[in-house]
Amino acid sequence: MINLTEVNSLIRLLDDPDPEIYSHVHEKLLSYGIEAIEHLESAFEQAFDAIQQERIANLVHEIQFGTVKNDLKLWYQGGAFDLLQGILIINRYQYPDLDEQKIINQIEAIKRDIWIQMMNEASPVEQIKLINHVFYHMYGFSGNTANHQDPQNSYLSQVMETKKGNQILLAIIYSVIAQKLDIPVHGVNLPQHFILAYLDESKESEFESGILFYINAFNKGLIFGRRDVDMFLKQLNLSFDKQFYEPCSNTDIIRRVLRNLISSYEHLGSSEKVDELNELLRILA
């Protein structure tokens, strides 16, 4: 249990001009972790001193960032099986106080609306057309073409709220919903464009891994074939590489989300965020 009197005494010392005292106070409060946050936030509201406010804000961020790093490490070391969990951890970096259950419930609601309309004997193409109808037409999701560089396109809570996102976030939500319905849709790490693949190992296919077709989540779930991927790679002057055609791991997907965020914040000149996100990326190295 946290010692309230001690915590409050330490918080009062945060504006001490003596660097040694400040350093000791900082480390001690940091060691309390998440438990100290509500006391720090309440002290922030009552603080009149600008130095104390800044130090409290920095300390809260440091504790929250430490938690994100730890959560990401545990997710990765645990096998990175749950993609939704992984993307929620990245969301915590920017939105640490968010009610994540609300997002999970929103995803479940979309899944339920698809499930209600799903026919037992629906073919793979029919299944995807139904997901597209519910996801893009009923719920109104679309690619954010107007402001593609905005970091908000890479945060799940914002994409769920605005219904606009970049290729990879729309593909993550799409594949999470499909997999919850036992529809085998998985991410493919295509350069400059993230796409999805419909896998069916029981059917004859031109792929070793049984891919029937691809899906462009950024373009309203457009279905396309292998030849289109060939042509896209040709335009980029890239030679054939198996990884551009086959499903990638959840870790690869989260790495790519982090790289997108790093690129967005570099564009905005937010060097502190770039450094922190690179730290998260190194956890998945």
Residue that terminates a domain, selected from 34, 49, 77: 77
187: β partners: 196
Q: Which of 13, 43, 77 is the last residue of a domain?
A: 77
- pLDDT tens, residue by residue, 3-49: 777 777 777 777 777 788 878 877 888 888 888 888 787 777 777 77
Q: Which pair of tokens denotes residue 115?
A: 């499930």
Same domain as 21, residue 137: no
pLDDT of residue 225: 92
- In angstroms, the CA 21 to CA 284 distance is 36
CB 93 within 8 A of CB 280: yes
* Six-digit token string for 221: 């779930």
Please tell me whether residues 118 and 46 are part of one structural domain: no
* Token digits of residue 182: 């036992």
Distances in whole angstroms, Cα of residue 199 to Cα of each of 52, 179, 250: 55, 11, 16
* Longest pairwise C-alpha distance within the chain: 73
Tell me the mean pLDDT in the region 92-119. Answer: 96
| Vertex 253: Cα angle to 250 and 257 (nearest 5) | 140
Using alpha carbons, select from 117, 165, 167 the residue that is nearest to residue 141.
165
**170 and 233 belong to one structural domain:** yes
Return the percentage of the chain with pLDDT > 90, whole number.
63
Residue 171's Cβ-side half-sphere holds a number of Cα atoms within 13 Å equal to 28
Choice among 73-82, 140-149, 160-169, 234-243 with the minimum mean pLDDT: 234-243
- Tally the domains of the chain: 2
CA distance 118 to 108: 15
- Domain stops at, among 77, 101, 117: 77
- Which pLDDT score is estimated for 115? 96
pLDDT band at residue 141 under the 50/70/90 scheme: very high
Which range of residues forms the domain containing residue 126? Answer: 83-283
pTM of the model: 0.90
What integer pLDDT is reported at residue 8 of this predicted model? 74
- Looking at the fold, whether 10 and 102 belong to one and the same domain comes out as no
Residue 229 DSSP code: H
